[in-house]
Amino acid sequence: MGRMLEISIALRNEIVAAATAAPDVEVCGLLLGTPGRVERVVTCRNVAADPRRRFEIDPAALIAAHRAARGGAPAVIGHYHSHPTGIAAPSPRDAADAAPDGGVWIIVARGELTAWRAVREGAIHGRFDALALADPGCAPSGERPQGGSAVSPRYRFP
């Protein structure tokens, strides 16, 4: 699995906007696409007992996404969540909860968005490796956006 994640600026903005709209709770959602590329995000209800400190994606939303993928929709490649009072990096609790299955974790905090892959013996908390973010382009040809490099390890919401 690569160390780069393609995700459009529009999808990054959608995730950050969801976190900004609910600053007191951990927002969460699913990342749909193909390995290494997020094609769609789906905001989900956080069903954790204390959504201010933890997140748990609504199981019904997760099951529905997997069923849709079996029917040809984009696959679930990971999820996102926010850290309302923390930083945009995996916490020790995230590491304890993460399966080393190669899933993508996007974390947003204070307008900053980062991406991680859950792996065995990761560099962060023994569970996560950082992913660089890349914009997949503005056209099906993969044309890069105007104004310079499309690769960033972190993304700050404008």
DSSP-assigned states of every residue in 52-91 = TT---B-HHHHHHHHHHHHTTSPEEEEEEEE-TTS-SS--
Among candidate residues 26, 56, 112, 143, the one labeled active-site is 26
Q: How is residue 124 annotated by DSSP?
A: B
Q: CA 133 to CA 46: how far, in whole Å?
A: 25
Q: Report how far Cα 101 is from the mean position of its chain's Cα atoms.
A: 15
Which residues, listed in sequence order, are joined to residue 31 by a DSSP beta bridge?
41, 78
The CA radius of gyration of the chain, in Å to the nearest whole number, is 15
Backbone angles phi, psi at 125, to 5 degrees: 55, 25
Q: CA 83 to CA 135: how far, in whole Å?
A: 23
Catalytic residue check, 112: no
Residues marked as catalytic: 26
